């Protein structure tokens, strides 16, 4: 029987991480499902769905030597995995303003109460060191409808007294 695992690896970014890790998995007889790999700060982060005959301990022994050589921390969970339909985001929210503490928690807290299921979230800081600004982009599903999210954002803008820009827009995907 084949098992699915969620494999997470994080460490200092360097050239060749993806190639060496995926090669180790391939040689160990594993197949990759979906994966997200990206550089965050100076770290490189990888999350992969791995499909294999191996059990957890054997899979770890397949990756561990390469991960150690590359200085990557490893985390492995068995999951109920398969190649499944992708949930399609139906709403996008862009937030930006002067950098301030607690903004992610505040915004996502209000949106969660209004039914937002987040599928993808990115934040970053731009601008100069003296005048940093903050931005966040969220894509997700409005499980209680757009109006609920719109109301939550109006409330939030009031609370934050105009120190922040929040834009909500529907995402529609058509077949072409």
Partner 1 sequence: MMLEILTYPDPRLKEPSTTVETFDEELRNFLSNLEETMRAGPGGVGIAAPQVGRFQRIAIVDVSSHKKVTKHHGRLVLINPEITDWDGFEIAREGCMSVPDYTGNVIRATHIKLTAQNENAEIKYFEMEGYEARAVQHELDHLDGLLFLDRLVSRRHDLFQRKTHQKKK
Residue with tokens 């909500």: 168
H-helix or E-strand spanning residue 39: strand 31-40
Smallest gap, in angstroms, from Cβ of residue 66 to partner 1?
Answer: 26
Q: Would you state the torsion angle of the CA atoms of residues 22, 28, 33, 34, taken in this order, to the nearest 10 degrees?
A: -30
Smallest gap, in angstroms, from Cβ of residue 103 to partner 1?
Answer: 16
Q: Please, which of residues 60-79 interact with partner 1 by CB under 8 A?
A: none
Smallest gap, in angstroms, from Cβ of residue 176 to Zn ion?
Answer: 4
Which listed range, 6-14, 59-67, 88-96, 154-162, lies at the site for partner 1 (CB under 8 A)? 88-96
Smallest gap, in angstroms, from Cβ of residue 32 to partner 1?
Answer: 16
Which listed range, 22-30, 45-53, 80-88, 148-156, lies at the site for partner 1 (CB under 8 A)? 80-88
Q: Which residues of 24-34 are buried (b: 16+ CB within 10 A; e: fewer)?
A: bbeebebeebe
Q: Residues interacting with Zn ion, by CB under 5 A?
A: 176
Q: Decide which of partner 1, Zn ion, none touches 172; Cβ closer than 5 to 8 Å per partner kind.
A: partner 1
Strands 164-170 and 132-142: unpaired
* C-alpha to C-alpha distance for 105 and 91, rounded to whole angstroms: 19
Whichever of 105 and 176 has its CB closer to Zn ion, that residue is 176
Q: Does 57 bind partner 1 (CB under 8 A)?
A: no
Residues 6+ apart with CB under 8 A from 106: 156, 159, 160
Token code pair at residue 124 = 């970053």
Smallest gap, in angstroms, from Cβ of residue 174 to Zn ion?
Answer: 10
Which listed range, 1-9, 54-62, 104-112, 168-176, lies at the site for partner 1 (CB under 8 A)? 168-176
Nearest to residue 122, comparing CAs of 145, 95, 149, 85?
95
What are the phi and psi torsion angles at 139 (to 5°)? -120, 140
Give the footprint of partner 1 on this chain (CB under 8 A). Answer: 38, 85-86, 88, 94, 96, 120, 122, 124, 126-127, 133, 135, 137, 170-176
């Amino acid at each position: 029987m084949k098992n699915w695992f969620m494999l997470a690896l994080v460490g200092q970014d360097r050239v060749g991480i993806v190639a060496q890790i995926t090669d180790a998995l391939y040689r160990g007889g594993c197949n990759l499902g979906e994966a997200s790999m990206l550089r965050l700060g100076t770290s490189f982060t990888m999350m992969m769905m791995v499909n294999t005959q191996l059990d957890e301990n054997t899979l770890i022994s397949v990756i561990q030597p390469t991960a150690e050589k590359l200085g990557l921390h490893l985390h492995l969970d068995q999951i109920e995995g398969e190649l499944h339909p992708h949930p399609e985001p139906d709403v996008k929210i862009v937030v930006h303003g002067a950098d301030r503490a607690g903004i992610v928690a505040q915004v996502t807290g209000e949106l969660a109460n209004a039914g937002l299921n987040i599928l993808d979230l990115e934040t970053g800081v731009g601008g100069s060191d003296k005048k940093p600004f903050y931005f966040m982009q969220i894509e997700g599903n409005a499980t209680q409808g757009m109006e609920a999210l719109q109301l939550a954002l109006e409330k939030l803008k009031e609370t934050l007294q105009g120190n922040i820009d929040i834009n909500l827009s529907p995402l529609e995907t058509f077949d072409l």
